[in-house]
Amino acid sequence: MSESILYYGVIPAIKAVVIVLVMATAAGVLTLFERRLLALLQVRKGPNRVGWEGSLQWVADTFKLLFKEDIVPAKADKVVHYLAPLFIIIPAMTVFAVLPWGPEVSFFGIKTPLYAMDVNIGLLFVLAVTTIGIYGVILAGWSSNSKYSLIGGLRSAAQLISYEVPMGFAVAAIIVMGQTLSLVEIIEAQKRMGLWFIFPGLVAFFLYFVSGVAETNRTPFDLPEAESELVAGFHTEYSGFKWSMFFLSEYANMVTVSAIATTLFFGGWLRPFPNVAFLSFLDFIPPIIWFLLKVSFFMFVYIWFRGTFPRYRFDQLMALGWKFLIPLSLGNIVLVAIAALWGKTGLTVLGTILTIAFAAGIFLAFRVPPKRLTVIEKSRPTEVPA
């Protein structure tokens, strides 16, 4: 009885507390990482006043937000205005319970996996819980009694409807390949096949990551928070600690999208090509480090997008989802299903074809010289004889 309480009660509770504390700290550290990286990309100085080279800037920002005055508009719906950030932050933290960070390890003689629980419908659970966060965005925009906030909330709802469909089809392609909804089993399926799902699922990965960037409201799809149009979007009327909850949930959702992409397409905690004996020397790196390295790479891509890409217009954003991504996702899942009929052989052939096509596309993109612009010389004025 005591062992069952330990394994099904105490240990999961400890893991839940650790997850919340780690993510709350990670969000602050990620802000510093993002600001320094953006400064590097844009050839300027980042935060460099608080701590060595600005290393404690995130601590100063945290204390500032905790003690900043909480201002609520006079005609806002105060109850909904207060609850809206909770509808965003709770689902963003809940989803970490099923994310597999590593295999089973031993702490002080107690064997436990590096995840809170392995649900047999874990992938469905992730999609369901992350979708709830949109209610917080809509309620925040509506309860603020501000036109800017309301438009930001409606834009976010429209993005969710547009990009949840191709994301769902991209995830369905992985389910077809792995034959399971468990995130842990999907990693194990990639190990058994000796093949990361990124190769046969290259198109699915593109669809998933683009949709993930859109759903987390990050550049170039940050229309719900477009400061040039909507001041700050759905959280315009928020300040202090409640505003920081939106901030925290955004980074938590970025980590979630990156972790799911790592799990579904890049083998989770597995090293590259886990069945190749020649690369066995890579096993000295712990599995959780492999997982964190992959997630960190996707977080870098998020920040890289913000520093280099212009923002889409809203009509372009909707057209991209409905006219391009959804038809492409339908065609991709049919292609993957046909390849999956032949098992590992069919998926390997599909992965080889897609990899060669992708490499050829990159080669041609850099091989073809850009069109030269014609320089129109200005006509000189006719000289008037003296």
C-alpha distances in Å from residue 359, one per residue of 38, 55, 152, 194:
29, 39, 39, 21
Q: Which residue, among 97, 58, 35, has the nearest Cα to 252 in the 3D structure?
A: 97
What would the pLDDT profile of 296-335 be if each residue is shown by its tens digit?
Answer: 999 999 888 888 888 888 788 888 888 888 899 999 998 8
Query: Per 3-state DSSP, what percentage of the chain is helix, strand, and coil (rounded to 5)?
Result: 70, 0, 30
Q: Does the pLDDT at position 239 exceed 70? A: yes
Q: Does the pLDDT at position 367 exceed 80? A: no
Handedness of CA 95, 166, 213, 215 (dihedral sign): negative
The pLDDT mean for the chain works out to 81
Residue 44 dihedral angles phi and psi, to the nearest 5°: -150, 175
Q: Which residue, among 176, 214, 197, has the nearest Cα to 262 in the 3D structure?
A: 197
Q: Which residue, among 153, 213, 207, has the nearest Cα to 326 in the 3D structure?
A: 207
What would the pLDDT profile of 46-99 be if each residue is shown by its tens digit?
Answer: 788 887 877 788 888 888 878 877 777 888 888 888 888 888 888 888 888 888
What would the pLDDT profile of 162-220 be if each residue is shown by its tens digit?
Answer: 888 888 899 999 998 888 888 888 988 888 888 888 888 889 999 999 888 888 878 78
Q: Does the pLDDT at position 279 exceed 70? A: yes
What would the pLDDT profile of 99-136 be if each residue is shown by its tens digit?
Answer: 888 777 776 667 777 777 778 888 888 888 888 888 88
Q: Extract the tokens encoding 138.
A: 């809509």
Q: Extract the tokens encoding 199.
A: 């190769």
Give the residues across from 107 on adjacent strands.
Answer: 110
Q: List b or e across 182-201, with b for residues whose CB sees 16 or more CB atoms inside 10 angstroms.
A: bbbbbbbbbeebebbbbbbb
Tell me whether the omega of the peptide bond preceding residue 220 falls within 30 degrees of 0, making it cis: yes
Provide, rounded to the nearest whole percent, the portion of the chain with pLDDT above 70: 90
pLDDT of residue 280: 79
Q: Extract the tokens encoding 32.
A: 């510093």
Q: Extract the tokens encoding 244.
A: 């920081």
Other CB atoms within a 10 A radius of the CB of residue 70 amount to 11
Indicate the pLDDT class of residue 1, thresholds 50, 70 and 90.
very low
pLDDT of residue 262: 92
